[in-house]
Structure 1
Amino acid sequence: MRTDSGQIFRLEDYRESDYLIPEVELTFLLDPQETLVRARLIVERRENVAAVTALELDGDGLNLSSLAIDGTPATGTAFEATPDRLIIARPPSAKRFTLDIETRLQPSRNKALMGLYVSSDVFCTQCEAEGFRRITYFLDRPDILSVYTVRIEADKKAAPLLLSNGNPVESGKLDGGRHFAVWHDPHPKPSYLFALVAGDLGVVSDSFTTASGRKVALGVYVEHGNETRAAYAMDALKRSMRWDEERFGREYDLDVFNLVAVSDFNMGAMENKGLNIFNDKYVLADADTATDLDFANIEAIIGHEYFHNWTGNRITCRDWFQLCLKEGLTVFRDHEFSADQRSRPVKRIAEVRGLRAHQFPEDQGPLAHPVRPRRYREINNFYTATVYEKGSEVVRMIRTILGEDAFRAGMDLYFERHDGQAVTIEDFIKAFEDASDRDLAQFALWYHQAGTPHVAISSRYDAGEKSFTIEIEQSVPPTPSESRKRLMHIPLAFGLVGADGQDMAFDAVEGAVVEDGVIHVRKRHHSVRFTGVPARPVLSINRGFSAPITLSGETSTDDRLFLARHDSDPFSRWQSLNTLFTEALLSATRTVRGGDEPLFASELVGAAVSLAANDALEPAFRALALTLPGEPDVAREIGANIDPDAIHTARIALLKAIAREGRATFDALYAGLHDNAPFMPDAAGAGRRALRNVLLEYLALADENPAPAKRQFDAADNMTDRAAALTVLANHFGETQEARAALSAFEARYADDPLVLDKWFQIQASVPAPETVALMRSLMEHPHFSITNPNRVRALIGTFAMGNQRAFHSADGSGYRLVADTVLALEAHNPQVAARLATAFRSWRSLETGRRDEARRVLSDIAKHENLSRDLADIVERTLA
């Protein structure tokens, strides 16, 4: 664990290293208690660098056994070695020389899960962002690209499988029951992409023939007995490979592609060249143990890591400030993949809901930072929704601005120009400018400026002149360390919807550049006038969520209801109804805080019921439309003096109002959606189940009766329906015999399946009741809870802190203290997970006074602890600032 050094890394301080390491040879003599690592580094001095320049290599808790320079053992005066640094003050004067470094590791004691560690008796590595320095001393930075040759030696019985990056070169037996394998990766890569896996695993094997006719051997490695649950992952991998060829012209470039699932992993997955390592929750799935969301996530994340082969591996980041260049870009690619595999409108709505739930609060709080940060203390803390999800939205806007053809030309030029390089955001933007002959300088502010832009809209129609005018005003709120903002280039997709539901034509437009249904907002204020508009239209704006902004305007309830029923853009149709729900919940929350019973307009309740019955709309879309904004969504709109109890009461009241009005309609729909066919994890089946399970909650609340949910739980033949029914029982009928029986049955059935048992913990952690804090304490004493397993911690504590607004924000502060205790317990062995959990406090200033004081007190107590890691100290200090 690295304690806080206080060092701040700044983008403007970047400079090239004086040295390169073009070749690396690694030998691992694996043993769980003590592993010997021999590293031979071919070091080159850059041109015009003086021979007297010292060579400083990074380490992290290393134990140096020996060092040789050009084959000669180094003496104590030739170098200075600490666990975190190896300094050779006077390297050889030759331009090229060799370092032989021997270190000793203790993989079985590595609970931080960075570097080389053991998970369920399997040796595994995680080197992004700075884990390679926990293996050997190195220039551990992404602009040092090396060709790796790796020899692995291990006990053959304990570790029959020996994997690393690249292609297999050689293997054989050794004395004493040991064996070896040699791997060579011909593609230069940064050290964060190094990977090793050794152990006893089962495999699902297949092959893929590329567009040019090369045959690639594929392997998905899992714990023995889980092979049948890896079939969907293999299918998703093959579909990803074909899609990347067809959509982006990117072909795979090695003879093998291996994917390994491990049970102890800090992240979702890692894109190491040719050897992707996955958290097993994003590989293993079948109907009995995985929900439709699990299947969709497996598809998306396998696609994401595979797509990194070009956007991250073949072209990598010059420095960690450019992290969005691989992550935001690759998220955009995996979103497009999933949209093509499933329903594009439904996928887009899900993306936006996630962005608003996770990235918007980040932009609005103390942890706000640009898509490309300008400074950091701990890079692990910048694997954020801003870098990933907002980074994806920025790439999407480039496509919106340029159009599909010019965007593809820009991507092709980027691949052609920078293959094999470590590059910057400026290189990326320049490729699109050169390919399209467009100036993107103002647009590039999306990378450099923090905060969510706000756009205010008003409109008027002049019947005499047959003109329609839109007034547009943009602003960007201040964020920490950045109070003055520059004007953005915001692409607003729009439509002028006529009475027949079709977009109306117009003769001309004045006041802004309008291209292909997009208004290009570049100034603080635009007055955009459309002429030749025969009747008053209803404005549909920011269609498809063309820009990640917040909107305000004067749209009437009638116009929103009209768009919810008729807009040709599915996203805007959903957005209109969702906005009406949000406004109703905001009003109801104020009513509840005033001590009165909330009432809801019959037009809104009726619109929800009629939309549910509209079988012209796909079921997955109807399921999303009927899903009310979450309690955090309402809190975000309130913005200050938030009372989570009042929000919860208001949301339950609206759920019940819709449930009572739609009782007969929902009952008939629910029955009609029952499917006797075998479970299939396809989009159509998932959509039907999604709608059916949304309706289940309404039906249970209509009569305040747990029986419908208990019947579904007992009869379910798949995890999607079973988990949905258990969630309804736990959330709304937790004290009933039906809920207790279902929870006990679920636990007994899946006691030996860690991934499914995570769902059991997660469902209970999400129960929106003050009593959940006490339940959490008891669940943390459960025999199957382990604070050293990141999946289990995320399922229980992460769900509670990030997803259970009411219980986490218990008025007495008990929820805060529970999470703080866990953060400090985690800090002792896995500071990375501890720091991510601590981000749950990011919105504490927006709470009402009592909760705000409790949260501040808990954060201050964490900050006072001695020897906090860099990871946790960074989050807590920025949150309190």
Structure 2
Amino acid sequence: MRTDTAPAVRLADYAPTAYAIPTVALDVRLAETGTLVTATIAFTRRDGTPAGAELVLDGDELDLVSAALDGAPLAPDAFTASADRFVLKAPPAGPFALTLTTRLDPATNTKLMGLYRSSGTWCTQCEAEGFRRITYFLDRPDVLSVYTVRMEADRTAAPVLLANGNPVEAGDAGDGRHFAVWHDPWPKPAYLFALVAGDLAVLKDEFVTCSGRRVELGVYVEHGNVARVGYAMDALKRSMRWDEEAFGREYDLDVFNVVAVGDFNMGAMENKGLNIFNDKYVLADPDVATDADYAGIEAVIAHEYFHNWTGNRITCRDWFQLCLKEGLTVFRDQEFSSDMRSRPVKRIADVRTLRSHQFPEDGGPLAHPVRPETYKEINNFYTATVYEKGAEVIRMLKTLIGDEAFRRGMDLYFERHDGDAATIEDFLACFAEAADEDLDAFARWYRQAGTPTVDVAEHYDAAARTYTLTLRQTVPPTPGQPDKLPHVIPVRFGLVGPNGGDMAHAGVSGAEVRGDVIVLTQPRHTVVFEGVAERPVPSLFRGFSAPVKPNVGLSLSDLTFLMRHDGDAFNRWQASSTLAMTMLVAGAHAARRGGVPRADAAYVDALGEIVGDDRLDPAFRALMLAVPGENDVARELGDDVDPDAVAASHRALRVAIGTRLKPVLSTILAAEDPAAPFAPDAAGAGRRALVNAAGDLLAATGEAAALDRLAARFSAATNMTDRLAALTSLVHRDAPQADAALAAFVERFGGVPLAVDKWLAVQATAPLGRTLDRVAALTAHPAFSFRNPNRTRALVGSFATLNPTQFARRDGAGFDFVADVVRRLDDSNPQVAARILVAFRSWRSYEPERRARAEAALRRIAAKRPLSRDVADIVERTLA
């Protein structure tokens, strides 16, 4: 490995490959100490490619054993081969087949890309560029091929042999070995190739499609875990039915298999017909999985299944179009979860994720458009911008053109581009045609980075009975894009009258209005509502209709009014969040000056009314209690951030809420039915979320009775949701009972890796001065391993991203610790190292002393030699 100085890849330089690959036949001989892969690859020259033009194939740390052309061994002077490149100097003019045999060592593949072993199981991860670690290939998404795979392995070590597509043949191979042949009839890019071989248990089921075809389903896991895959299977079947009903998409193979592995860099992978999952998104039972785990399993199972059409049947032409499959599929899984659970609660949760992950990305050195125009390392562009903001762009498109036109556009996209490697332009053209609308200006959302700000001024003229909104949008400069054009921004609105209902108006002028949506297209719009009887309170961006930062400038009394009365659940929550943020920012400034943060009594009283109203969804009431996090407050402050002052303000507001609302919160706790059976549905999850939020706020006061109650809840908990909530509150409050609870937890669950991750994360996120020493010590714990991405993310990733006061300690020790981990991981798993390094993205926002220490840690990473391309790319952009 070396520090990579290769030139950036540019969208503008795209050109098709000189050769196409109609078919690929793989013969994979799996072995303990070495695996042989023989690939017979059929090539045809594309139109315009000169006869005899050399063929250049990608490789990555490959060891070539032999090479043959049309069955005859190649002469040594007919080709060149290195670890990362194979060149056939003078290919035949007509179609030809190249047979290449490579030798792999999956057991030492710590990068977890290509073919590797996880707990004795052979498995693959090929997105984005992992197939070139298996054989030399034109490893890019616009090369679509039909694959046939023969696998052979020791029958005892790997009784299960799985690959893409449908099973064709299986049998004995002699010497205690056996084989299986799989064929995938649907052309796919190499990044969707997959195989799995191992000694696995399976839960079988079947699904009958809308046309009556029977599909055999299988969820494969390590022995002993089958009892924990029932929910994943149920989520898969619900996903298949929902996609038929919501998008008209029927599954297209005879089998669909899911495999859960313990060592995985990503959440899951949508390989055609053979999804490979991080086991945290498959395994669940009430004793080890929280409600959040169940919701995550449901969403990720759905996401990877939905890729069958939005990603597999229609893939992306190049990696610049990544949002075409990811943003669109995130939108689809969000809609699925909204239909399975509470739509308003799901919307609030998604927006909180967007703001906590994507907004900082948009506002820092790693900002890039939803469709970037250049990259050095594609693994670093699997980002919140591509996924979450990409989904928001799809949602805006649906809001603008309406539900019916959106469905027509999706149907046209599936019809026109099935089997294609498509682009954003291909996608948008379908909706422009379906809606008969010019979407050229809307496409700026794909080209421009940065989060727009929309400033709003209001004026009510009682004599004229008019109400005027002036809306100004600005898009901030971002790296490489100093100047921006205005976006098309849909503003879903309501005018809330004194009785709490939406007011009618006689007409509107000044901007395009489609029903309850104002369409902004220019830097400034003045919108005049006629026939408005009295001054309303504007409820803007209902349902978060656009991924922008609105600055409406409402008074505290107006916000409190919306918090109590807005008919849009999202904006009720938004009003509460805005009020809390106003107090938190003011409190941070006060704490910085040595003052005391204060809470607004009217806000706390309104909050009490809402959370005490048992007519409302408990999950919504729990979200209302969750004030903005410390990282959110730091982002709002912008510059010269002192995390300790932010933490003091955050702590003070929570103490004020817990103290003033003690009667309401105590009533919520008292109403809990401890004998109620656990069900991982929205209703049960909502009730548990509300009870645990109430208990945590009472514990924030530090009262001994509240902490004793938490300790008792921990001991008596019958499910992981309640158990982990109580443990987190005890540890984060530095309660006297915390150490005993931690010991009891690991004694009971020390043999369950996914529970160990929770135990590690609880300690890593504790806002305590001794946390860094504890985290460092835990890296030597027998349950921890830097070789396992889940363990590393749970401990080091949680510390770096979710513990702002300790990661950004004034003495710089938190920065240094994470920098040391990044440098260490860079040698074994650069992809995970780069993801952890992203925690430094907001380093310039700290006050000067912390800023200097963060920069020193970053420069120490940058000085490492050798340095992987993954880490070099992130650190260079972060320091730029």
Which range, TM-score by smaller chain?
over 0.9
Shift of 1:772: 1.0
Alignment partner, residue 82 of structure 2: 82
Alignment partner, residue 425 of structure 1: 424
Alignment partner, residue 202 of structure 2: 203
Amino acid at match of 2:713: Q
Q: Which structure 2 residues correspond to residues 604-619 of structure 1 after superposition, within 5 A?
A: 604-619=603-618
Alignment partner, residue 51 of structure 2: 51
Alignment partner, residue 876 of structure 2: 877
Amino acid at match of 1:634: V
- Give the secondary-structure state (helix, strand or coil) at the position aligned to 1:554: coil
The answer to whether the Cα contact below 8 Å between 1:699 and 1:708 also exists between their aligned partners in 2 is no
Alignment partner, residue 436 of structure 1: 435
Whole-angstrom distance in 1 between the partners of 2:519 and 2:181? 55
Shift of 1:152: 0.2
Shift of 1:675: 4.2
Whole-angstrom distance in 2 between the partners of 1:741 and 1:608? 34
2:64 matches 1:64: yes
Whole-angstrom distance in 2 between the partners of 1:638 and 1:56? 51
Alignment partner, residue 30 of structure 2: 30
Amino acid at match of 2:357: H
The answer to whether the Cα contact below 8 Å between 2:45 and 2:93 also exists between their aligned partners in 1 is no
2:465 matches 1:463: no
Amino acid at match of 1:587: A
- Give the secondary-structure state (helix, strand or coil) at the position aligned to 1:26: strand
Whole-angstrom distance in 2 between the partners of 1:756 and 1:554? 45
Unaligned runs of at least 5 residues, structure 2:
none
Alignment partner, residue 6 of structure 1: 6
Whole-angstrom distance in 1 between the partners of 2:123 and 2:538? 54
Whole-angstrom distance in 1 between the partners of 2:427 and 2:327? 12
Q: Which structure 2 residues correspond to residues 476-625 of structure 1 after superposition, within 5 A?
A: 476-625=475-624
Q: Deviations over 1:749-771 (max 9, x none)?
A: 00111110110000000101232
- Give the secondary-structure state (helix, strand or coil) at the position aligned to 1:842: helix
The answer to whether the Cα contact below 8 Å between 1:473 and 1:525 also exists between their aligned partners in 2 is yes
2:725 matches 1:728: no
- Give the secondary-structure state (helix, strand or coil) at the position aligned to 1:287: coil
The answer to whether the Cα contact below 8 Å between 1:454 and 1:474 also exists between their aligned partners in 2 is yes
Q: Deviations over 1:41-67 (max 9, x none)?
A: 010001232112110000001000000
The answer to whether the Cα contact below 8 Å between 2:3 and 2:865 also exists between their aligned partners in 1 is no
The answer to whether the Cα contact below 8 Å between 2:264 and 2:789 also exists between their aligned partners in 1 is yes
Shift of 1:412: 0.3
TM-score for the superposition, normalised by structure 1: 0.99
Q: Which structure 2 residues correspond to residues 375-390 of structure 1 after superposition, within 5 A?
A: 375-390=374-389
The answer to whether the Cα contact below 8 Å between 2:2 and 2:866 also exists between their aligned partners in 1 is no
- Measured on the aligned residues, the alpha-carbon RMSD in Å equals 0.8
- Give the secondary-structure state (helix, strand or coil) at the position aligned to 1:545: coil
Shift of 1:605: 1.5
Higher mean displacement: 764-773 or 406-415 = 764-773
- Give the secondary-structure state (helix, strand or coil) at the position aligned to 2:490: strand
Q: Deviations over 1:274-319 (max 9, x none)?
A: 0000000000000000000000000000000000000000000000
Q: Which structure 2 residues correspond to residues 3-402 of structure 1 after superposition, within 5 A?
A: 3-94=3-94, 96-402=95-401
The answer to whether the Cα contact below 8 Å between 2:361 and 2:385 also exists between their aligned partners in 1 is yes
The answer to whether the Cα contact below 8 Å between 1:273 and 1:309 also exists between their aligned partners in 2 is yes
Alignment partner, residue 444 of structure 2: 445
- Runs of 4+ in structure 1 off by over 2 angstroms are 701-705
- Give the secondary-structure state (helix, strand or coil) at the position aligned to 1:482: coil
Whole-angstrom distance in 1 between the partners of 2:569 and 2:33? 57
Shift of 1:32: 2.7
- Give the secondary-structure state (helix, strand or coil) at the position aligned to 1:843: helix
Whole-angstrom distance in 2 between the partners of 1:492 and 1:167? 47
Q: What is the percentage of aligned positions where both structures have the same residue?
A: 59
Amino acid at match of 2:30: L
- Give the secondary-structure state (helix, strand or coil) at the position aligned to 1:599: coil
Amino acid at match of 1:550: K
Whole-angstrom distance in 2 between the partners of 1:412 and 1:265? 34
Amino acid at match of 1:579: T
Whole-angstrom distance in 2 between the partners of 1:702 and 1:819? 32
- Give the secondary-structure state (helix, strand or coil) at the position aligned to 2:24: strand
Q: Deviations over 1:514-551 (max 9, x none)?
A: 11200000011101000011111110000000000001
- Give the secondary-structure state (helix, strand or coil) at the position aligned to 2:122: strand
Shift of 1:3: 4.5
The answer to whether the Cα contact below 8 Å between 2:584 and 2:646 also exists between their aligned partners in 1 is yes
- Give the secondary-structure state (helix, strand or coil) at the position aligned to 1:373: coil
- Give the secondary-structure state (helix, strand or coil) at the position aligned to 1:441: coil
Whole-angstrom distance in 2 between the partners of 1:92 and 1:701? 74
Shift of 1:502: 1.2
Shift of 1:420: 0.2
The answer to whether the Cα contact below 8 Å between 1:10 and 1:375 also exists between their aligned partners in 2 is yes
- Give the secondary-structure state (helix, strand or coil) at the position aligned to 2:532: coil
Amino acid at match of 2:744: A
Higher mean displacement: 610-619 or 870-879 = 610-619
Higher mean displacement: 610-619 or 739-748 = 610-619
Whole-angstrom distance in 1 between the partners of 2:619 and 2:878? 38
Q: Deviations over 1:723-772 (max 9, x none)?
A: 000000000025x1x11110000010001111101100000001012321
The answer to whether the Cα contact below 8 Å between 2:2 and 2:865 also exists between their aligned partners in 1 is no
The answer to whether the Cα contact below 8 Å between 1:663 and 1:702 also exists between their aligned partners in 2 is no
The answer to whether the Cα contact below 8 Å between 1:32 and 1:118 also exists between their aligned partners in 2 is no
Whole-angstrom distance in 2 between the partners of 1:661 and 1:880? 45
Q: Which structure 2 residues correspond to residues 663-742 of structure 1 after superposition, within 5 A?
A: 663-705=662-704, 706-734=707-735, 736=736, 738-742=737-741
Higher mean displacement: 293-302 or 591-600 = 591-600
Shift of 1:215: 0.2
Amino acid at match of 2:479: P
The answer to whether the Cα contact below 8 Å between 2:324 and 2:424 also exists between their aligned partners in 1 is yes
Shift of 1:93: 1.7
Q: Deviations over 1:614-668 (max 9, x none)?
A: 1121000000011010000000000000000001011111111111111111101
Q: Deviations over 1:421-448 (max 9, x none)?
A: 0010000000000111011110100000
Whole-angstrom distance in 2 between the partners of 1:504 and 1:559? 16
- Give the secondary-structure state (helix, strand or coil) at the position aligned to 1:238: helix
Query: Aligned pair count?
Result: 878
Amino acid at match of 1:322: Q
The answer to whether the Cα contact below 8 Å between 2:702 and 2:733 also exists between their aligned partners in 1 is no
Q: Deviations over 1:315-346 (max 9, x none)?
A: 00000000000000000000000000000000
The answer to whether the Cα contact below 8 Å between 2:144 and 2:190 also exists between their aligned partners in 1 is yes
Whole-angstrom distance in 2 between the partners of 1:247 and 1:702? 47
Whole-angstrom distance in 1 between the partners of 2:182 and 2:552? 60
Whole-angstrom distance in 2 between the partners of 1:108 and 1:488? 50
Alignment partner, residue 853 of structure 2: 854
Whole-angstrom distance in 2 between the partners of 1:782 and 1:72? 55
Amino acid at match of 1:844: W
Whole-angstrom distance in 1 between the partners of 2:48 and 2:744? 71
Whole-angstrom distance in 2 between the partners of 1:586 and 1:615? 31
Amino acid at match of 2:41: L
Shift of 1:704: 2.5
- Give the secondary-structure state (helix, strand or coil) at the position aligned to 2:394: helix
Whole-angstrom distance in 1 between the partners of 2:757 and 2:339? 30
Whole-angstrom distance in 1 between the partners of 2:416 and 2:597? 60
The answer to whether the Cα contact below 8 Å between 1:154 and 1:179 also exists between their aligned partners in 2 is yes
Alignment partner, residue 652 of structure 1: 651
Amino acid at match of 1:484: D
Amino acid at match of 1:204: L
Whole-angstrom distance in 1 between the partners of 2:240 and 2:860? 49
Alignment partner, residue 862 of structure 2: 863
